[in-house]
Amino acid sequence: MIKTTNSPHVHWQALPPTSMTLNGGMWSQRQAINRQISLRHGYNMLESAGNFHDLRLAAGLIEGTYRGPLFMDSDLYKWLEAVAWEIANNPDDELQRMMDETVELIEAAQTPEGYLNSFYQVAEPQRRWVNLKDGHELYCFGHLAHAAVAHHRVTGSDRLLNVAKRFADYIGSVFGPGKRPVTDGHPESEMALIELYRETGERRFLDLALFILEQRGQNLLGANQNAGYYQDRVPIKQSTIVEGHAVRALYLASGVTDAYIETGDQAWLNSVHAQWHDFTSGKMFITGGAGSRHDGESFGQAYELPNDRCYCETCAAIASVLWNWRMLLTTGEGRFADLIERTLYNGFLSGVSLDGRGFFYVNPLMSRGGYTRPEWHGCACCPPNVMRMLSSITHYFATADDSGLQIHQYAPGKLKSGKIGLRIETDFPWQGVVKFTVNESPAEAWALKLRVPAWSDFTTLRINGQAIDLPSVNQGYVTIDRTWNPGDSLEICFAISPRLTEAHPRIDPTRGSLTIERGPLVYCLEQIDSTANIADVEIDPAAPLQTEWQPDVMGGTMFVKVGGYAVDTSDWGDTLYRTSGKQEVKKQPVQLTAVPYQLWSNRDSGAMRVWIPKSK
């Protein structure tokens, strides 16, 4: 969650952590599981994987050997941030105790001069700041700072904030104008330093972030041929494409957008606009997923969007939400909220199992079987990243400005900002109706802005039960500007019928195929729902799409059913290639059953596909 109260270049203001509470629905369910299961599971995993152990070594509390990859601290910081956001709205003694003891441990591990990184303190003390390319030191600092800001913002305590400030000041004593130049191999510290600036008001943190951003693209990393992987090929202000490691690229873009928000330097904004265009016009999966290649966990070329071997790291989906949120705040354009919606409901939510104990690292759009969500990973960046996104999810739902409130994502609950209080009732995303009831309102008129998702091709509005003409949609939003009285209600209804979606014909593996979407949800076929082998089915584009609510499957799920065919591929025998046009295609009508992509691999680990070939 970011704080834009004093940010000069935002269109809308982000709301504080306690502004919105959920009451029922998909996000509330997921948040409850995150609270009840995942955060405690995470604590146990951090203990068994060695993350706590490593900090205890650094603190001198125990003796032993460093365990795990060199960025172990960052996983713990992300989990800590998740706990902080969680208890903002749901105080919990156990989580509070876990948080307190972790803060104490982190304090104890910090060196007198302010440095803090268990790997370099314990395993390689002589290599501090030696390997900026792959050492993840500033990256780990960044996650510490984010956790510290969350802890301070939620609890008011400055204990962890002081740790982060001391570390930041130590970094500033090493790197900066007239000192060492610096580019970090894994961006993250940029947005963290800017958030630290926002939280403390201390300008030197912003200056350090800007210094770090400005150094990039001068080959300080020495990555040479591989500079693109590290977003170090050109200076950021000359960068017009997303390239290299997807999470790094999108964390960096988030930091660059933050830099614009605080400085107004148009060159930062121009760069991220160009990158966003490059991403969404050529390198984005329909789930919002980012990263086309396992090789380098990286973006590919434009239109290189494989179904089976896409990477779509869960962290990249999260990074995209962070970036699009900053773009939305600074521009007020609904396309960024549309993409947040696409990403949260699909490429992000697929990253965690319904039971809160399993996490995907890679989120393919097609599986030939065998994908299950492990309970943790050797490189465990994703699980605690999911946790912090879920515990802060309401942050992305609404904003405010002097004219009133803006609603970006729809979920049932209560929203309070200044003198305005709203109750929101909806079964979104299963149903398209969202009802707002004014609980509190100032006497003067104010405007409620509602995002009309690009997918809703017919949207209706009622105020106090009376249908009114939909105001014109401007940059993705309708504005209802009036005097509101407590008890007033507004209902907006989006067209949420299932639809068939096609992909740009330059994308090889989806050509001639369709997928099903319904509202914000991308659907997929899972083998468990089909008697035909889903590797051999086609979808009939003329067949009606039917919905079927199944209350007992996966906590309540809307299935979509549609006619199609099972193609008999047995005539291919063992051959992969044959002269065309000599064989007749034999196929049988079948009914296809689709489930939301976010839910795949929750029942078994059978085959799955998002894109389905279209029958002629």
The residue ranges that bind its own copies (CB under 8 A) are 277, 280-282, 284, 286, 293-295, 300-309, 366, 368, 455, 457, 499-514, 535-536, 541, 567, 569, 572, 574-581, 611, 613-614, 616
Nearer to its own copies, 285 or 397 (CB): 285
Query: Minimum CB separation from its own copies for residue 469, in Å?
Result: 24
**Number of other CB atoms surrounding residue 432 within 10 Å:** 22
d(Cα 290, Cα 185) in Å, to the nearest integer? Answer: 19
Nearer to its own copies, 483 or 583 (CB): 583
Q: Is 381 a catalytic residue?
A: yes
- Please report, as a single letter, which amino acid is at residue 597: Y
Nearer to its own copies, 294 or 419 (CB): 294
Give the residue carrying structure tokens 């912003």. 206
d(Cα 68, Cα 366) in Å, to the nearest integer? Answer: 31
Alpha-carbon separation of residue 94 from 80, 99, 107 (angstroms): 13, 9, 20
Catalytic residue among 297, 517, 526, 538: 297
Query: Minimum CB separation from its own copies for residue 581, in Å?
Result: 6
Residue among 611, 606, 614 at smallest CA distance from 310: 611
Query: Minimum CB separation from its own copies for residue 300, in Å?
Result: 7
- Please report, as a single letter, which amino acid is at residue 611: W
Nearer to its own copies, 237 or 368 (CB): 368
Is-contact 568 581, C-beta < 8 A?
A: no
Query: Minimum CB separation from its own copies for residue 106, in Å?
Result: 32
Nearer to its own copies, 5 or 580 (CB): 580
Query: Minimum CB separation from its own copies for residue 152, in Å?
Result: 40
Query: Minimum CB separation from its own copies for residue 308, in Å?
Result: 6
Q: Is 297 a catalytic residue?
A: yes
d(Cα 128, Cα 373) in Å, to the nearest integer? Answer: 35
Residue 495 — φ and ψ, nearest 5°?
-80, 110
Is-contact 361 31, C-beta < 8 A?
A: no
Length of the chain: 616
Query: Minimum CB separation from its own copies for residue 303, in Å?
Result: 8
Query: Minimum CB separation from its own copies for residue 377, in Å?
Result: 12
Is the previous residue joined to 429 through a cis bond, with omega within 30 degrees of 0? yes
Give the residue carrying structure tokens 């080959």. 219
Q: Which 8-state DSSP code applies to residue 386?
A: H
* Run of H or E residues at 206: helix 203-215
Residue 130, classed as helix, strand or coil, is coil
Is-contact 176 208, C-beta < 8 A?
A: yes
Catalytic residue among 381, 382, 493, 524: 381
Nearer to its own copies, 139 or 279 (CB): 279
Query: Minimum CB separation from its own copies for residue 288, in Å?
Result: 11
Nearer to its own copies, 127 or 578 (CB): 578
d(Cα 19, Cα 27) in Å, to the nearest integer? Answer: 16
How buried is residue 374: exposed, middle or buried, by Cβ count under 10 Å (0-12/13-18/19+)? Answer: middle
d(Cα 420, Cα 444) in Å, to the nearest integer? Answer: 11
Residue among 65, 184, 176 at smallest CA distance from 131: 184
Q: Which 8-state DSSP code applies to residue 301?
A: S
d(Cα 204, Cα 298) in Å, to the nearest integer? Answer: 33
251, two tokens: 């964390």
Nearer to its own copies, 126 or 579 (CB): 579
Is-contact 404 447, C-beta < 8 A?
A: yes
Residue among 186, 195, 134 at smallest CA distance from 168: 195
Nearer to its own copies, 211 or 348 (CB): 348
Nearer to its own copies, 251 or 285 (CB): 285
d(Cα 517, Cα 342) in Å, to the nearest integer? Answer: 11
Residue 374, classed as helix, strand or coil, is coil
Query: DSSP assignment of 338-352, as one string?
Result: HHHHHIIIIIIGGGB
What value, to the nearest 5°, has the Cα angle with vertex 77 and ends 211 and 231?
40
d(Cα 413, Cα 346) in Å, to the nearest integer? Answer: 22
**Number of other CB atoms surrounding residue 574 within 10 Å:** 4
Residue 374 — φ and ψ, nearest 5°?
-65, 160
d(Cα 43, Cα 25) in Å, to the nearest integer? Answer: 26
Nearer to its own copies, 180 or 506 (CB): 506
d(Cα 609, Cα 611) in Å, to the nearest integer? Answer: 6
Nearer to its own copies, 104 or 568 (CB): 568
- Residues marked active site are found at 297, 381
